[in-house]
Amino acid sequence: MEYAEPPDPILGVTEAYKRDTSPDKLNLGVGAYRTEELQPYMLEVVKKAERIMIDSEDNKEYLPIEGLADFNKATAELLLGKDNAAIREGRVTTLQSLSGTGSLRVGAAFIGKFLPGRTVYLSNPTWGNHKNIFADAGVEWKEYRYFDKATIGLDFEGMTADLEAAPDGSIAVLHGCAHNPTGVDPTREQWGAIADLCERKGHLPFFDVAYQGFASGSLDDDAWAPRFFANRGIEIMVAQSYSKNLGLYAERVGAINFVLADAAAAKRVLSQIKRIARALYSNPPVHGARIASTVISRPELFAEWNTEMDEMAGRIKSVRQLLYDELTKLEPSRDWSFVTRQIGMFSFTGLSPKQARTWLPGRCSLPCCNVENMTQKHHVYMTKDGRISLAGLSAAKTPALAAAIVDSFK
């Protein structure tokens, strides 16, 4: 092996953070929830579900290839709504997979195998791993415009023009809510126009739902977009993750869902994705899926989960507001309203690509290197695209972060 791969652009930030010995260091790179004390958080409802599981003495036999039946039923209902027509009609296929990433990977393999020659369109920018996932599955990907640097908002005209120009029958990867890394989502009216476009062009929407309930605090509000497409009769694919909303990061709990035109197609697709999963990892892990299905199916735990999710989302919203207030106090001449307009755990700070591109720890000392300035001078670790995770920020650290940002914009 002649060449070493550079560190992962997101997980590599944590590696660099760990090497920093400053007491002031702050890790806003990876998207994982922290308490106000900046500690990882284990949901109380997860502990309760695990106690129930210990008492029930479930075994650790292999799951079927498609995963835990109770989980698959619960997760499809959580995504689409309990009384969803597609579920009632048997038009939904669900396969438990290895969190959001593994679910996307199974979906990508399906596209590579059964939709050959179709191109996947990813938003520009997008979560960095999307490109790896489709590329490794041998699927060609291109980008559609998404982010407008001038407004630090959605480039809706660019997005729809690019999806319009894509060949009919392309695959459009859409973030279900809380777009990563920008925190910028289409409005409901804009979703309507995107659905019209996909229907007219025969595009297949592939939703990535990594933040259901974690973005707004409401499971229903955050699932609005995929439900809207499914209820209009558009066939969709949806990858789900329980990393953030149940804090099950390391348990790798998620699913790939297909909402299809009829029940026969749903059966055929299930048989094919089982074949794909069998060769990739054989069958999924049971522990996290049991936690999720226990929480979703027991009304008292489900209610408690909703409260905890609302608290996590609420803490992020409150540091968002605090950051906006601090930035405005320090630099009133600049419009910081994008911070509070953005949704979910991330804020896209609007660094120019030239400034962001130059982040090379220890090798770049230009004063214009904003992200580098954040890291080298202020010990704030973030991805080089200018994204910060507000889930890793405490109220106590917000004034220092605001000062670092203002200093780095100079």
User: Exposed/middle/buried for 364, CB within 10 Å: 0-12, 13-18, 19+?
Assistant: middle
Q: Residue 152 interacts with ligand PMP (CB under 6 A)?
A: no
Catalytic residue, from 162, 222, 244, 336: name it.
Answer: 244
Nearer to ligand PMP among residue 251 and residue 372 (C-beta): 251
Among 66, 155, 185, 208, interactor with ligand PMP by CB under 6 A: 208
User: How far is Cα 133 from Cα 330, in angstroms, rounded to an integer?
Assistant: 41
Nearer to ligand PMP among residue 242 and residue 305 (C-beta): 242
Nearer to ligand PMP among residue 155 and residue 208 (C-beta): 208
Among 109, 111, 194, 210, interactor with ligand PMP by CB under 6 A: 210
Q: Which stretch binds ligand PMP (CB under 6 A): 94-102, 273-281, 302-310, 368-376?
A: 94-102
Instruction: State yes or no: is 168 an active-site residue.
Output: no
One-letter amino acid identity for 8? D
- Tokens 């938003």: give the residue: 123
Q: How far is the CB of 134 from ligand PMP (least distance, A)?
A: 13
Q: Residue 285 interacts with ligand PMP (CB under 6 A)?
A: no
Q: How far is the CB of 261 from ligand PMP (least distance, A)?
A: 26
Residue 30: Cβ within 10 Å count: 18
Q: Which stretch binds ligand PMP (CB under 6 A): 116-124, 241-249, 292-300, 367-375?
A: 241-249
Q: Which residues pair with 207 in a beta bridge?
A: 174, 238
One-letter amino acid identity for 178? A
**Residues 6+ away with beta carbon under 8 Å from 407:** 373, 377, 378
Instruction: State yes or no: is 142 an active-site residue.
Output: no
Site residues for ligand PMP, window 105-134 (CB under 6 A)?
A: 127
User: How far is Cα 80 from Cα 58, in angstroms, rounded to an integer?
Assistant: 28
Nearer to ligand PMP among residue 370 and residue 389 (C-beta): 389
Instruction: State yes or no: is 244 an active-site residue.
Output: yes
Q: Residue 245 interacts with ligand PMP (CB under 6 A)?
A: no
Site residues for ligand PMP, window 40-79 (CB under 6 A)?
A: none
Structure token pair of residue 350: 């609007």
Q: Residue 212 interacts with ligand PMP (CB under 6 A)?
A: no
Q: Residue 392 interacts with ligand PMP (CB under 6 A)?
A: no
Size of the site for ligand PMP (CB under 6 A): 13
Q: Residue 96 interacts with ligand PMP (CB under 6 A)?
A: no
Nearer to ligand PMP among residue 127 and residue 147 (C-beta): 127
Q: Residue 101 interacts with ligand PMP (CB under 6 A)?
A: yes
User: How far is Cα 117 from Cα 18, in angstroms, rounded to an integer?
Assistant: 43
Q: Residue 182 interacts with ligand PMP (CB under 6 A)?
A: no
Among 205, 254, 386, 392, interactor with ligand PMP by CB under 6 A: 254
**The residue count for the chain:** 410
Catalytic residue, from 162, 185, 208, 222: name it.
Answer: 208
Nearer to ligand PMP among residue 238 and residue 260 (C-beta): 238
Among 29, 100, 186, 285, interactor with ligand PMP by CB under 6 A: 100
Contact by Cβ (8 Å): 235, 199: no
Q: Residue 97 interacts with ligand PMP (CB under 6 A)?
A: no
Q: Which stretch binds ligand PMP (CB under 6 A): 78-86, 96-104, 113-121, 378-386?
A: 96-104
Structure token pair of residue 348: 């896209």
Q: What residues act catalytically?
A: 127, 208, 244
Residue numbers at the binding site for ligand PMP (CB under 6 A): 31, 99-101, 127, 175, 180, 208, 210, 241, 243, 249, 254
